[in-house]
Structure 1
Amino acid sequence: MSRMMSIRVIRRLSLEEVQGRLREMEERHGCSFEEFQERFNREGGVELLEDYVEWSYMVHALRAYREGEEFDCVIEEERELDRDLLSALTPRRIELLYAIPGLPVRSINDLAERLGRDVKNVYNDLRCLERLGFVLLRRRGRSIVPELLIEELTFVFE
């Protein structure tokens, strides 16, 4: 009997990711959030509930940001731990996930130097973690600064 493995991730969404998800919701449902909200109020239903909750949460986070609050949108998701994801979570990349919040850095070069690693390898590892949604690489002047998006990463064995 083989055991299923997954990871549960609690992470912050970047502003750009929320904007992209909102566009996807509009395309999927063929309407604005306000129109979808009216439909949900009229029809209800479990099949609309998940999209309504997610869409509503992101819309409210974006509105608060536009009104001057700090952007904050945290989600919990579970992902199947397939070969691709497992191979992406190398010991060096996991080390980066621990190092980023513990070592305030000014750039990828600074992070690589503090960890005693090659800059190109650190950059490639960070790009992989960015594709997973675990880090965000922000440009600050001429530097690129890694920002940790995950708050919790849990391996789940079923």
Structure 2
Amino acid sequence: MSAPPPPRLLAVDAGLRAGLAVYGSEGRLQRYRSTNFGAPKRLKSAVYGLMNDLPGLERVVVEGGGAVADPWLREAKRRGLSVTQVHAGIWREALLLPRDQRTGAAAKEQADALARQVINWSGAPRPTSLRHDAAEAILIGLWGVLDAGWLSEPPQGIGIR
């Protein structure tokens, strides 16, 4: 009999173009990507398969609302997963300095730099280019693993608050 897969967390920057990040229970980023669903119907049908492809999925953290967040929230609840819907201001306040939150452009620029630090710390493959939605999903996930207690504090060498 094989052991159950280790727990995982899926972080989503919800949108028709969505950022996705997967973390393991040790708090390290395992993979990330940006996905263009193109249409609400394709988004709805893709969520089930994306979650099926993540053995051990226990937690889902979604930033966003409305029709682009609902499929993620519904599917996570249907599976009995721990699900959190978080506003950008919550995770940004926890991870970014106040000066980096003053404008959306400043927050996105800092999110990119911080996400690259998380990628390096985690040993995840380095991106050739990193879209802002994937960078934000990485930070949503970092906030999620801290909130879940999978990490007791931000990783050493990650320049956050």
Under a length normalisation based on structure 2, what TM-score does the superposition of the two structures give? 0.26
Higher relative contact order (CA 8 A, sep 6+): 1
Structure with more of its chain in helix, by fraction: 1
> Scaled by the length of structure 1, what TM-score is found?
0.26
